[in-house]
């Protein structure tokens, strides 16, 4: 399976994506009213590259890039691309950051993407924002949904297996999780999983915006011990 080519989103572009629509509020009324969407002060536009990931085309030289994996919180649903944590990380480190976030991604899908990146590129830097424990995918892209029949123990086991496999394949991954995800038993895992608080909201009132992204980025910079020269 090729997990680095999300072809059905290749070259897609537009002002809304996924739940980040007025219709999305009508379909998910528990999220909030349409008012945050209407009043959000920053223009949002989505551009997906030839591989189907949000952002520009990948550079030819991938030796020094930071690979950024996750779900919609990494893709940046509801915010301008420059407000996403991979984009802010690139600005602060001056290192090319590749956004591999996929809206709705399960941890198994994130793991499969990580495995292919590790196998093909032997990366120096990888940051993973793990998703909700109860999401499930079929290979390679079909989203099954939330496994409502799975117990908490099943979900923790699934997440732990994904987490351990990724971190055994590559040392020194920066691991965090989406701020809205369940934290059950994650503090016992090694290496450390960094946790962050939501400090602001995107225009859909569910995802985070640049203030939260900046705290995550500073944590990533500290984890990899990037020098002040690299941060300028």
Element (H, E) at 1: none
Neighbours of 84 (CB within 10 A): 29
Contacts of 168 (CB under 8 A, 6+ apart): none
| Tokens 């349409």 belong to residue | 34
Residue ranges and CATH numbers for the domains of the chain are 7-231 (3.40.50.1110)
**Per-residue tens of pLDDT for the chain, all 232 residues:** 899 998 888 999 998 887 777 665 555 554 555 666 778 899 999 999 999 999 999 999 999 999 999 999 999 999 999 999 999 999 999 999 999 999 989 999 999 999 999 999 999 999 999 999 988 877 666 665 666 677 888 889 999 999 999 999 999 999 999 997 767 677 788 999 999 999 999 988 889 999 999 999 999 999 999 864 444 4
Phi and psi dihedrals of 120, rounded to 5? -90, -30
Neighbours of 50 (CB within 10 A): 11
Between helix 152-169 and helix 107-121 the angle, nearest 10°, is 10
Q: What is the pTM of this model?
A: 0.90
């Amino acid at each position: 399976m090729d997990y680095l080519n999300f072809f059905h989103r290749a070259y897609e572009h537009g002002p809304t994506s996924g739940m980040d629509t007025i219709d999305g509020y009508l379909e998910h009324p528990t999220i909030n009213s349409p008012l945050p969407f209407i009043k959000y002060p920053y223009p949002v536009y989505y551009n997906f590259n030839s591989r189907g990931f949000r952002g520009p085309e990948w550079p030819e030289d991938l030796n020094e890039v930071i690979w950024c994996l996750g779900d919609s919180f990494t893709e940046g649903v509801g915010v301008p691309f420059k407000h996403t944590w991979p984009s802010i990380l690139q600005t602060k480190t001056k290192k090319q950051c590749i956004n591999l976030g996929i809206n709705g991604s399960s941890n198994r899908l994130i793991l499969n993407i990580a495995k292919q990146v590790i196998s093909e590129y032997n990366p120096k830097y990888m940051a993973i924002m793990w998703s909700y424990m109860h999401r499930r995918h079929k290979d390679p892209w079909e989203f099954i949904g939330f496994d409502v029949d799975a117990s908490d123990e099943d979900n923790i086991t699934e997440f732990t297996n994904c987490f351990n496999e990724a971190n055994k394949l590559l040392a020194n991954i920066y691991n965090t999780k989406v701020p809205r995800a369940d934290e059950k038993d994650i503090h016992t895992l090694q290496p450390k999983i960094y946790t962050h608080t939501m400090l602001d909201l995107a225009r859909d009132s569910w995802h985070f915006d640049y203030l939260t992204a900046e705290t995550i980025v500073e944590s990533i910079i500290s984890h990899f011990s990037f020098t002040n020269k690299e941060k300028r």
